[in-house]
Chain A
Amino acid sequence: MTGLVLDKISMRFDLPDGGAVQALKDITLNIKEGELMSVLGPSGCGKTTLLNILAGFLAPTEGTIELNGHYVTGPDAERGMVFQKGALFEWMSVRHNVDFGPRMKGMAKRERDEITDHLLEVVGLQEFKEKAVYELSGGMQQRVALARCLANDPDVILMDEPLGALDALTREKMQGLVLKLWKETGKTIILITHSVEEALLLGERLLVMAPRPGRIHKEYQLPFAEHGVDADLRDVKKTDLFGETRDEILSMIWDMEEEIMGRTEGAA
């Protein structure tokens, strides 16, 4: 079976004070190959934990993850990761950041350079190939991170708020770039975000998670990503359906936050 299959993932760990946290409970998901899925939820709902489990950095206490027929037990090049910031290697040039994966695999230099040149062109950084990454702006650095992830040709790309640290304008441009890369490469992409608009734009499928315990609250199938590939993202945002869905999800998350606040206050 192809695709990513999560079977009853639960995550529970002990706290130093004797208590325990149920970070995730019975997450069951079937993510098809080439799907673009965004995950949204109030803080503390376990979405980053879920992503770390998918990446193989954390082991779930219960349940299994299968990717293309084999179990996920640790980090692997088949599951690439894009972080919010600070994950580039600042002692390497842009080129060496991008070809890090192929280089570690021992790929020949000619082949590597071809991949690097191509990807830097796709993300629009071909002129910055020999620059140090710390000389680049935040948006450019995230382009490098995308290119570095793609250079390794992973089956699944996991993105942990990849555009969270960018300013609004750069963020909009980068959202377009993510859509373009998704369409061109046909990769499975799972993206975590805090922004409802971003989740709507960058998710064929949108997962709203609820906290305590972290679980799937609601799922949407959305047309905006498909529209956004060719159209201006701002036009997509202006449609009535976009507005309605956004308001619905916003009030849903708002209610969850209220509930958390109430519960904490009640406990105190």
Chain B
Amino acid sequence: MLIAAIYAVIFVAAYFAVKAFTSMREARHDFTSLKTVTFGDESAVRPNRAASIISVVSIFLIWGAFTGSSITPIHVPGPFLGETEFTYTAENAAGERDDATVRVIVRPVGQDVELPEGDGGGGGFALDDSVAVGGGRSSLIQTGENDAGADEDGFRVVAVNGVALEPEVGEVDIGDGSVTLSRRGTVRFTPYAGWQMEKIWLPAPEDVWVRLVEIARDGYRDFTLAEHLGYSLFRVLAGFALGALVGIPLGYAMGLSNWFRGWFDPIVEFMRPVPPLALIPLVIIWFGIDESGKIFLLFLAALWIMTIAARAGVSGVNISKIHAAYSLGASKSQIMRHVIIPNSLPEIFTGARVAMGVCWGTVVAAELVAAEQGAGQMIVAASKFQLTDIVIMGIILIGIIGYGIDMLMRWAERILVPWKGKG
């Protein structure tokens, strides 16, 4: 909630800041800038580059601020660390009361500190204690261990810093944390946790970067990073290539022949809405966790998309073009080669982009379930050891590669089918 609120504030503040800044500069005078109606005119909506940059930067800033990262100057308050103390009041079996002080050293989790001297002072039957606890974690403090008569029935802690407490009832704020009594009457100290995330939930950006460098150099789980990603990419490319190899001719046949259309329509229409992920269990039963199983799964994922794209490409041919080609004396095979195939290429490219996206998503999911290497396997193995930095690194790499694939496909489309949408 807090993060969402901060994000919204940055969003609005950046908007006004950028607006104020651009209004100071000379305005542009291209055609679109002269349009007075922009609300509802989609062509007049151009992405604000400053907004894109601020958006990405603010994600890293918020990430850094909540993880105590070194890349951000401002951090949300971290957990309390250091020394604090409180006084408890104990009542013994005879009904007498005595005070003693507890000195608490709150240390970073996983770090050892030496306990200071000074135990056992304070006089009376309740004696002073010194303990060390982990930052942000609540701990039980055995104050009675050194107190006289603590093992007798009726001995109990009744107050902290002069405020009365009952087991599981009441809470005393001592400034750096809070004290309660457990069900059995033991003192429980919870140091102030702060707003920062622990590494196990969300590591700092630089930790992820360091981990990336380390894994790029040393590999993870017997495979280098390049091998993990390479395996995933290889599976996608192999599955997609097979799917296209079968799907495109099948789609053409469905677009050109009644018999093929009738025969394959029910199969294609049935298989199309089945998410490839739903086939993973069956593929594992059939193929085990072999390479062939994953490639078969991706083949299925790409097949229907490519079939439908090729079919749409054929049915999208303007009948005038076909008629014109016949009247110009072209044979069926010439019409196929010079009219139908080039005319369907834009559709096929669109299908290929969708198919590559689906394949990339499917391969990661398939690797999550069963694989020895691959991007998905890497993050699922890391998650079992709570290596959150590897998980986040893997997610970012998967995103970047998916985006990269799409960019490549768009680029290829611009180069190879420049006539797209111009017919």
Contacts and interface: CB of A to CB of B under 8 A. Distances in A.
Interface of A: 55-57, 74-77, 79-81, 83-92, 100-101, 104-105, 132, 134, 145, 148-149, 152, 154, 158
A100 B328 contact: yes
A79 B423 contact: no
Contact of B422 (A56, A75, A87, A134): A134
A77 B328 contact: yes
Given A80-B327, A81-B324, A91-B419, 7 more contacts: A77-B328, A87-B321, A87-B323, A100-B330, A101-B329, A104-B329, A132-B418
Which 7 pairs across A and B sit closest by C-beta, in order of nearness? A77-B329, A134-B422, A75-B326, A87-B320, A101-B328, A91-B342, A81-B327
B423 A76 contact: no
B334 interface: yes
Contacts of A92: 338
Contacts of A83: 320, 323-324
B422 A89 contact: no
Nearest to A151: B328
If over half of A's interface residues share one DSSP class (helix, strand or loop), that class is named, otherwise mixed; here it is loop
B318 interface: yes
B194 to A, nearest CB: 62
19 contacts: A76-B327, A77-B328, A80-B328, A86-B320, A87-B320, A87-B321, A89-B338, A91-B417, A91-B419, A92-B338, A100-B328, A100-B330, A100-B338, A104-B334, A132-B419, A145-B324, A152-B328, A152-B329, A158-B327
Nearest to A80: B327
Contact of A87 (B318, B338, B417): B318
B343 interface: yes
B327 A89 contact: no
Contacts of A81: 323-324, 327
B339 interface: yes
B245 interface: no
B423 A100 contact: no
A79 B327 CA distance: 6
A75 B327 CA distance: 5
A89 B344 CA distance: 12
Contacts, number: 81
Contact of B329 (A76, A84, A158): A76
Contacts of A55: 323, 327
B423 A134 contact: yes
Nearest to B341: A91
A89 B329 contact: no
A85 to B, nearest CB: 8
Contact of A75 (B318, B323, B338, B342): B323
B54 interface: no
A90 B328 contact: no
A104 B328 CA distance: 8
Interface of B: 318, 320-321, 323-331, 334, 338-339, 342-343, 345, 417-419, 422-423
Contact of A89 (B321, B323, B417, B418): B321
A145 B342 CA distance: 19
A149 B329 CA distance: 11
A92 B423 CA distance: 11
B329 to A, nearest CB: 3
A4 B321 CA distance: 25
A148 B328 contact: yes
B330 A104 contact: yes
Contacts of B331: 104
Given A83-B320, A100-B338, A90 B327 contact: no
A34 B343 CA distance: 35
Nearest to A86: B318
Contacts of B418: 132
Contacts of A105: 329
Contacts of B329: 76-77, 101, 104-105, 152
A16 to B, nearest CB: 17
Nearest to B325: A100
B323 A86 contact: no
**Most chain A beta-carbon contacts within 10 A, residue among B343, B418, B419:** B419
A80 B326 CA distance: 9
B343 A87 contact: no
Nearest to A135: B422
A90 B419 contact: yes
A81 B338 CA distance: 18
A148 B334 CA distance: 17
**Most chain B beta-carbon contacts within 10 A, residue among A76, A83, A152, A158:** A83
Contacts of B334: 104
**Most chain A beta-carbon contacts within 10 A, residue among B323, B327, B330:** B327
Contacts of B321: 86-89
B252 to A, nearest CB: 17
A165 to B, nearest CB: 12
Contacts of A90: 419, 422-423
A70 to B, nearest CB: 16
Contacts of B330: 100-101, 104
A87 B321 CA distance: 4
B374 to A, nearest CB: 39
Contacts of A79: 327
A178 B147 CA distance: 116
Contacts of A87: 318, 320-321, 323-324
